[in-house]
Chain A
Amino acid sequence: MIELIDITKTFDAANTSHDALIDVTLTIEDGDIFGIIGISGAGKSTLARCINLLERPSAGTIRIDDVDITNFTGRDLLDLRSSIGMIFQDFSLFSQRTVLQNVMFPLEIRGDSRQHCRARAYELLEVVGLVEKANSYPSQLSGGQQQRVSIARALANDPKIILCDEATSALDTLTTNSILDLLRQINRDLGVTIVVITHSMSVVRKICNKVAVLDQGRVIELGTTEEIFDDPQNAVTSELIGEVIIRG
């Protein structure tokens, strides 16, 4: 369970400061596929990055499984991060490593034996259906395949949580669907909690069971996916849903 309590994040520039998140409070239960949606600049990435402390909140508390992690540093911080998988819009694979070596990375970081790293990486490539590409380099793969590799990499440490920041935004509809299917399968089979950052309501509708709508750093709507779709309380939400209805 991830609990965000009154999270505020302020970015200080030379003489201005900008509140990227304001008093964000929400709870993500184990096994959720939790959507965080909003327009560009709403603060979605900042919020996701607070969960593994890539960004430190200016105020508020983050609890994961009842442990207050807000002020984790040093070894605790690194262990926390290695227990949370993350995937990115631009895949962020290591270009100089093979597919297999990319998936091995999080395990190597933990100091696992080379043999174990390899065996585990092969298992994960099996899960994402890319065993035959084990010795290719990322530059030799399509976008969808690259995202599969990064999902395998995110799964390497048996995380309980995976953060997906616009994981499908760079992909076409068909590839998007196959990636979303894969995420759903991972959620169902491995019981991984998935946080899905997106600006697309159709992504939310396809896989999320709960959703928070973020606007200018605030949560303006929070509920199950059905609630939000059936009865949007906010103009921004309606607008985001409208797009889905128009675009299918």
Chain B
Amino acid sequence: MADSMSFFSDFIARYGSLLIQGTIATLIMTFVSSALAYLLGTPLGILLMMSAPNSLKPNRTLYSVLGWIVNIGRSIPFIILMVALIPLSRLIMGTSLGVAGAITPLVIASTPFVARLIENSLQEVPSGVIEAAQSYGASTFQIIWKVLLSEALPSIARSIPITVITIFSYTAIAGVVGAGGLGDIAVRYGYHRYQTDVMVATIIIMIFLIQVIQTLGNIAVRRIDKR
């Protein structure tokens, strides 16, 4: 018992600050990228939904072009995208390394994903409700803002943890290519140095964080959804 206690305190003394820094780096990458992905993906999702055939502003060309871009974005595995985007990352963030370097590929990889999720959520809004809004003289902008987004909010909120957790797992991949964070620690210590204890610690932290994200998401959805 005393042994295990001292092992634990030794471990914390030795790796505690490393793990805390890693956790912070991972959380920053995850949440900054998620926020930017929603900032870019939401308008894209709205455009997709609005321009679809039989939608409010059907536009074949726009819909196909956006669809193509989104599909291309989604079909490239993240690790490849990450490497391919190194020059772009240097251009935008000034570096392809560290947390800052990881943001660009993370955002570019997850924006198409978010766009599709938003599009799906908006499509779930019953057409009768949209028609009711039209029948009261709502403009297209008012329909998007006051009806589509507002009615789709529970569904959008439900998809946010999915996005955040996906990006979270991307950060681990990014870690391997020099982004830092928990993924980087797990690979450096667990894989290259055979320090299983450090790897196990990172896994425990990751599991804990994912649980927290999903639980917070569920609570938020329960409060938002009035249906």
Residues of B contacting A52 with CB < 8 Å?
Answer: 135
Q: Is the CB of A94 within 8 A of B137?
A: no
Q: Is the CB of A81 within 8 A of B134?
A: yes
A84 within 8 A of B: yes
Interface 1/0 per residue, B150-165 and A, CB below 8 Å? 1101100000000000
Interface size on A, residues (CB 8 A): 32
Q: Report Cα–Cα, A90/B133, bound state, in Å.
A: 14
A204 within 8 A of B: no
Residues of A contacting B128 with CB < 8 Å?
Answer: 88, 90, 92
Q: Known contacts A109-B138, A109-B142: does B132 contact A96 (CB below 8 Å)?
A: no
Q: Main SS of the interface on chain B?
A: helix
Interface size on B, residues (CB 8 A): 21
Q: Report Cα–Cα, A52/B139, bound state, in Å.
A: 14
Interface 1/0 per residue, A87-130 and B, CB below 8 Å? 01010111111000000011011100000000000000000000
A86 within 8 A of B: yes
Q: Report Cα–Cα, A86/B130, bound state, in Å.
A: 13
Q: Is the CB of B150 within 8 A of A109?
A: no
B91 within 8 A of A: no
A79 within 8 A of B: yes
Most B C-beta atoms less than 10 A away, residue of A52, A77, A79, A109: A109
Q: Is the CB of B136 within 8 A of A105?
A: yes
Residues of A contacting B131 with CB < 8 Å?
Answer: 54, 88, 92
Q: Main SS of the interface on chain A?
A: mixed
Q: Is the CB of B136 within 8 A of A82?
A: yes
B223 within 8 A of A: no
With beta carbons under 8 angstroms apart, the residue of B132, B137, B153 that contacts A78 is B137
Q: Which residues of B contact A (CB under 8 A)?
A: 126, 128-129, 131-139, 142, 146-147, 150-151, 153-154, 226-227
5 contacts between A and B (CB under 8 A): A81-B137, A90-B126, A95-B227, A96-B153, A163-B135
